[in-house]
Each structure stands twice: as C-alpha cells, then as structure tokens.
Amino acid sequence: MAVADTALELAPSFSYWNMVWTRFRKHKLAMFGTIVVLFMILVCFVGAPVYTALSGIDYSSQNLQDRYAFPSAQHWFGTDDLGRDVLIRILYGGQISIEVGLIASLAAIVLGSLIGVIAGYIGGWVDEALMRFTDVMMSLPYLPLYLVLAMAFTPGFWTLIFIFIAFGWMGDARLVRGVVLSLKNMEFVEAARAVGSSSWRIMGTHLLLNSMAVIIVSTTLAVGGNIVGEASLSYLGLGIQPPMPSWGNILQNAAEFMFAPRNGPWLIFYPGFFLFLTVLSFNFMGDGLRDALDPRLKNAN
C-alpha cells in the first residue's frame, strides 16, 4: 500500500504502536467502525442509565394506554406491544449484547492462546493431542449443538458465554500455534533459553507478546460473531430471557407480533439495525487492525 509506505517514511522515529496508529487512522472504514463502537458503548452504558435516572423509564416500564405508538419526539423509535419504549429497550439490550460479545471473545482468546502456545512450543505428542482435539471440535456442527447446549443448561447470560467460549477457541489456538511455530527457533527465544528463562516465561512473555497482532485481530473479529450468535440464540428463545432485553429477544418479541394490525415495521427494523451496525463496526475495526498491526497479513486472507 502506497499510503502506508509513505507514512512509514515520514515517521522513522515512531515506535511500533505509533506506526500502527498512523496506519489505522488511514483506514476509513476502520475509523468509522471505531467511532460507531465507541458511540454504541457510550449510549448503551452511559446514555441509558442517565435517561432512566432522569425520566424514571427503564426497559420494563409498560404503558398499556400507549401500545404500538408511532415514532415521536417522546418515543423516538415508538413503543412495542406492551407500550414499552423501544429505544430504551434497544439501549439496555445493547449492554447485554456487547457484554456477551466482549466477555466471550476475550475468554475464548485466552483459552485459545494458551492451548496454541503450549501446543506450538512444547510440540511432540502434546501438540499432536491438542491439535487432534482442536480438529474434532472444529468438525462439530456448532449451531445444532448451541441449541442443545442452551437447552441442557438453563438459558441465560453465563450459559451463552460458556457456549461461545467452548466453541470459540479453536481458530485462535491454530493461529497462535502457527505464529509460535515460526518464532520458537528464532535467536531471541534461543537467547532467552540461554540465560535460563523457564519455559513458562518464554511462552508467556516472548511468544505470546509476539503473537499479539494475531490475537488482537482475531478477538476483534470474534466480537461481531458472538454478538450475532447471542442475538440468534435469543431470537430462538434459547439465549437471554425476558424481561431482560437483548437485541435478539427484542427482535423475537417484535416478530411474534409482526402481523398484529397496528404493529409497525420499525419494531423489527431498529433493533436489527443496531445489531447489524455494531457487528459491521467490529468487523471493520478488525480488518483495519489487521492491516495496521501487520501489513504483511493484508493479502494473506
């Protein structure tokens, strides 16, 4: 990329992270994604509680006199079948959706990196066993198993997160193992071993830190996937349970009353649009981070 190259030439004294930031800033879609994500986090986690504190209306406040209201100054996105304000429900639902996405992705990358670094560094039968297990996990039909798992345990926040961790670490493990395999015979690892660093120290500080580019990109891209996963399972009634709102179960509720005479299409449009925009933004961010953190990865995919 010509743009990135000029940036490098202009900034010879910058640190690695400065260069990453310079490259990231040039990626318009990634900047768009970052701004949207920050905006979503702000309105969901700060805006919604502030609004509730001021007006006393929260996600479960019903007003049966005011059902299926049109979007208006008072209810920007209208009201649903129980006269609840749709905007405030979307914002509170966003808290849950974003939390599930972030927690599950972070936990999965921790587990995946651990397995990947151990398999890659120790090698031998440990590597063989861990990778065979990873292969098996990858060949499971995950959506049907999600359903059964969500049924097997009581559906809810932590069940969802458990499911997404259990089925989310395999890709990360493979990626990190790949990086570790390419690094472990390099001089700096040999030097660390020569000065007497323990295996855990080498894996923890040298190998994992050098896999950070892969780890950050993979986590960011996983957040979007997990948010869609949460919404899909909640839509099917096997995720977050009402009255706690999430983007999935708001849509499920709206779809249930889709053919009700006074029901407006916006009841389905708005929550889904927030969901779509958030997922898209995380994906844009991940793409931008991939280009910024390691320009060599750009065309690898």
Partner 1 sequence: MGTFIVRRFLQMIPILILISLLTFLLMRLAGPDPAEYMIMLNPRIKPADILAEKIRLGLVSPDGKPLPLISQYLNWLGNLAKGDWGWSRIWPNQTAFGAIMLFLPNSLILMGLALLLSIIVAVPIGIYSALKQYSSFDYTFTTLSFMGMSLPTFWLALMSIIIFHLLPYRVFGFPLFPAGDIVSFGKPYAWQWYDRLWHLALPVLVLAITHMAAWTRYMRSSLLEVIRADYVRTARAKGLPESKVINKHALRNALIPMVTILTLSIPGLFGGALITETVFAYPGVGRMLYQAVVGKDYAVAMADILFLALITIIFNLVADILYAVVDPRIRVS
User: What part of residues 174-233 is at the interface with partner 1 (CB under 8 A)?
Assistant: 224, 228, 231-232
Name the one range near partner 1 by CB under 8 A: 53-61, 118-126, 194-202, 273-281.
273-281
Q: Residue 33 and residue 38: Cα distance in Å, rounded?
A: 9
Residue partners of 257: CB distance under 8 A and separation at least 6: 80, 81, 263, 267
Please, which residue, 14 or 142, has the CB nearer to partner 1?
142
Torsions phi, psi for 79 (to 5 deg): -125, 160
Q: How far is residue 52's CA from residue 59's CA, in Å, rounded to a whole number?
A: 9
Q: Which is nearer to partner 1, 117 or 250 (CB)?
A: 250
SS3 label, residue 140? coil
Q: Does 249 bind partner 1 (CB under 8 A)?
A: no
- Nearer Cβ to partner 1 (92/146): 146
For the segment 27-86, give every residue that binds partner 1 (CB under 8 A). 29
> Which residue, 28 or 201, has its beta carbon nearer to partner 1?
28
How far apart are CB 139 and partner 1 at their closest, in Å? Answer: 6
* Residue 152 found at the interface with partner 1 (CB under 8 A): yes
Is residue 257 a contact point for partner 1 (CB under 8 A)? Answer: no
C-beta closer to partner 1: residue 46 or 152: 152
Task: Enter the DSSP assignment of 259.
Answer: T
Work out how close the CB of 56 gets to partner 1 at its nearest, in angstroms, rounded to a whole number: 31
Q: Are 292 and 27 in contact (CB under 8 A)?
A: yes
Helix (H), strand (E) at residue 260: none
Closest Cα to residue 171, out of 295, 24, 286, 298? 286
Contact pick of 276, 294, 295, 297 for partner 1 (by CB under 8 A): 276
User: Is 255 among the residues that bind partner 1 (CB under 8 A)?
Assistant: yes
Q: Report d(CA 84, CA 99) in Å as an integer.
A: 23
CB 77 within 8 A of CB 93: no
List for the chain the helix, strand, coil content (%; round to 5). 75, 0, 25
Could you tell me the two tokens for 67? 């059902």
Min separation Cβ 141 and partner 1, Å: 4
Residues that bind partner 1 (CB under 8 A): 29, 132, 135-136, 139-145, 147-149, 151-152, 224, 228, 231-232, 235-238, 251, 254-255, 258-259, 265, 268-269, 272, 275-276, 279-280, 283-284, 287, 299, 301
